[in-house]
């Protein structure tokens, strides 16, 4: 057993392993920190950039127009009403659809907080999995 | 005429064979069986299996037939392995295939890919302690990264005589993920932990996906310049995919170019397992240490996820740690299936893919670091 550790020591193994693990983890940690800031930086650049700002205002305008056409449920009207609104908005998707498509459609129509709403619809059983990554309405 | 017949018969494989060639031919057939009938990593195991069969047909030496004989066709094809060309090309294709969205949506999962590399460095210690030379120990240790091309690349650079056993060990364990990983996952996690649901991921913009490979190539390659031959093509391929303006190149990289490299890599690595070179005590040691490396890598990912949970508000399902090894997508699939066995509504696949993708980066960095440590030895 002593020989085992002796061989590691002679080959400078402890130092190599310690440095290797540290460097590998530091490298990926730094990468993780940097990429977690990228969306913030992009948002900042887009906000300060004139052409982007114009584009954003046009997008927001279009979205706002869409929202006006959709009858949104009032607070307290319940998840069932929200599910009905979402189902009507996403009629074009057919009977079964991936959640990503539903999210896309809802975003295009300018519905507020589609991500959280779809999550709550899933949890309350209005959206049920049909297998192979697809979901259907349960209303 | 009788002398001619006598000489001819003495030069046939039937006359020259011995038990070692027959054992290796059976191993080759087993790989082909696993790949074609059991569908375990068929794109790798079928070329390697047939390569083993080809490489273990006995022949008369000195005629330029074997993979280790100068001027033979196999020898020229094997140059792509020895020089590290095939692994680099495969990384180019992998980059053009990989979607980093899930990793970019939840960057903290990258730490699980880094944690799984602990297995690599633990195995380095074990191999050194068992008396392997430092360069051989580093080549054996990288099996823990569970990345075939990375293992082959590093071994070709540090201990070319071990390419055959290390490649076979690495790919065997990758194919055996459904057998090796689930018991470790079950052993190290409670049912309550396996039931943890992960939050849905945010949508990642195209700009983020385009910026990522540029940042990653700079950061990783500045930290471990020896990983340039792997990570350089990897992120280059990924940028081709994400920028959308060079889709033709990305399409070629992830299909024909990568497929050609995979065929030649698999076949020549298989053929390099010539019985007289392969069936040695060292190979058995490599297989044993490979299993240790792979198991420790899986376990360290899971344990690290549990440690992270002590500090995080939004807890991580520790099963995801097992996907920190870079066996894409086998280990991610296994994590997802394990989660679904406990709760059929628990979808862990995309989160596991995030760990898997960071595992690829982590193992290539580890290979670069090991190579740079060995420059002086």
Closest-CA residue in chain B for A127? B345
Partner residue opposite B118 with nearest CB, options A19, A21, A27: A21
Phi first, then psi, for residue B266 (nearest 5°) are: -60, -50
- Angle ∠(B297,B158,B77) on CA atoms, nearest 5: 105
Q: What is the ipTM of this complex?
A: 0.87
Q: What angle do CA B305, B196, A34 make, to 5 degrees?
A: 45
| Segment A35-53, tens digit of pLDDT | 999 999 988 888 886 554 4
Give me the pLDDT at residue A50, please.
Answer: 55
Rounded distance, CA B97 to CA B244, Å? 13
Three-state SS across B218-264?
Answer: HHHHHHCHHHHHHHHHHHHHHHHHHHCCCHHHHHHHHHHHHHHHHHH
Q: Which residues in chain B are contacts of A30 at CB distance < 8 A?
A: 219
B137 interaction partners in chain A (CB closer than 8 Å): 11, 13
Looking at the partner chain, which of A8, A18, A28 has a beta carbon nearest the beta carbon of B361? A28
Q: Model pTM?
A: 0.79
Q: Do A35 and B107 touch (CB under 8 A)?
A: yes
Q: Determine contact: B2 vs chain A, CB below 8 A.
A: no
Domain ranges in chain B are: 2-376
Gap from A88 CA to chain B (nearest CA, Å): 23
For residues B264 and B83, what is the distance between their CA atoms, to the nearest angstrom? 13
Asked if B195 has any chain A CB less than 8 Å from its own CB, the reply is no
Reported as a single tens digit per residue, the pLDDT across A82-111 is 888 888 888 888 888 888 888 888 877 777
Residues of chain B with pLDDT under 50: none
Within 8 A of B118 by CB-CB distance, chain A residues are 21
Query: If residue A97 lies in a helix (H) or strand (E), which one and from where to where?
Result: strand A96-98
pLDDT of amino acid A53: 47
Please give the full DSSP string across B308-353, using - where no structure is assigned: HHTT-SSPPPGGGGGGGS--TTHHHHHHHHHHHHH-TT---HHHHH
Q: B113 at the A interface (CB within 8 A)?
A: yes
Q: Which of B129, B144, B296 to mutate to test the interface with A (most CBs of A within 10 A)?
A: B129
Domains for chain A: give ranges and CATH numbers: 72-139 (1.10.10)
Residue A77 has pLDDT above 60, yes or no: no
Write down the pLDDT at residue B344: 86
B82 CA to centre of own chain = 16
Chain B: closest CA distance from residue A62 (Å): 20
- Cα–Cα distance measured from residue B345 to residue A138, given in angstroms and rounded to the nearest whole number: 16
């Amino acid at each position: 057993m002593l020989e085992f550790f002796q061989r590691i020591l002679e080959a400078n193994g402890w130092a190599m392993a310690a440095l290797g693990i540290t460097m590998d983890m530091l490298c990926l940690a730094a990468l993780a920190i940097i990429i977690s800031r990228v969306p913030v930086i992009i948002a900042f650049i887009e906000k300060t950039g004139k052409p982007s700002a114009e584009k954003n205002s046009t997008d927001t305008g279009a979205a706002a127009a869409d929202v006006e056409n959709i009858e949104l449920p009032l607070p307290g009207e319940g998840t069932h009403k929200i599910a009905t609104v979402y189902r009507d908005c996403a009629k074009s998707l057919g009977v079964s659809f991936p959640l990503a498509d539903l999210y896309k459609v809802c975003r295009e129509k300018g519905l507020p907080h589609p991500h959280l709403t779809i999550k709550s619809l899933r949890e309350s059983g209005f959206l049920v999995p049909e297998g192979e990554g697809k979901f259907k309405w349960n209303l | 005429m009788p002398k001619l017949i006598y000489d001819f018969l003495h030069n046939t494989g039937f006359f020259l064979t011995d038990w070692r060639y027959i054992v290796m031919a059976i191993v080759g057939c087993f790989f082909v069986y696993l790949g074609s009938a059991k569908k375990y990593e068929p794109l790798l195991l079928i070329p390697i299996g047939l390569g083993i069969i080809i490489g273990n047909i006995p022949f008369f030496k000195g005629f330029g037939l074997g993979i280790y004989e100068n001027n033979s066709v196999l020898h020229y094809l094997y140059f792509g392995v020895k020089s590290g060309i095939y692994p680099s090309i495969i990384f180019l294709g992998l980059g053009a295939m990989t979607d980093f969205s899930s990793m970019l949506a939840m960057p903290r999962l990258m730490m699980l890919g880094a944690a799984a590399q602990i297995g690599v460095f633990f195995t380095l210690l074990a191999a050194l302690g068992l008396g392997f030379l430092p360069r051989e120990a580093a080549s054996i240790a990288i099996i823990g990264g569970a990345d075939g091309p990375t293992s082959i690349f590093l071994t070709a650079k540090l201990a070319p005589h071990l390419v055959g056993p290390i490649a076979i060990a690495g790919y065997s364990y990758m194919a055996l993920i459904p057998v090796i990983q689930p018991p470790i996952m079950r052993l190290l996690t409670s049912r309550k932990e396996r039931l943890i649901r992960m939050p849905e991921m945010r949508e990642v913009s195209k700009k983020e996906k385009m910026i990522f490979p540029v940042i990653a190539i700079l950061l990783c390659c500045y930290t471990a310049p020896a990983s340039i031959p792997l990570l350089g093509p990897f992120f280059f391929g990924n940028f081709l995919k994400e920028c959308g303006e060079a889709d033709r190149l990305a399409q070629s990289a992830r299909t024909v170019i990568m497929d050609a490299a995979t065929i030649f890599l698999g076949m020549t690595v298989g053929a390099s397992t010539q019985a007289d070179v392969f069936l040695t005590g060292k190979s058995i040691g490599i297989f044993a240490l490979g299993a240790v490396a792979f198991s420790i890598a899986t376990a360290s990912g899971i344990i690290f996820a549990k440690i992270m949970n002590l500090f995080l508000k939004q807890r991580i399902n520790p099963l995801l740690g097992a996907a920190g090894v870079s066996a894409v997508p086998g280990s991610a699939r296994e994590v997802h299936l394990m989660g679904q066995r406990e709760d059929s509504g628990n979808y862990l696949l995309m989160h596991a893919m995030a760990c898997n993708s960071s595992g690829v980066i982590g193992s290539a960095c580890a290979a670069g670091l090991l190579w740079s440590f060995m420059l002086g030895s």
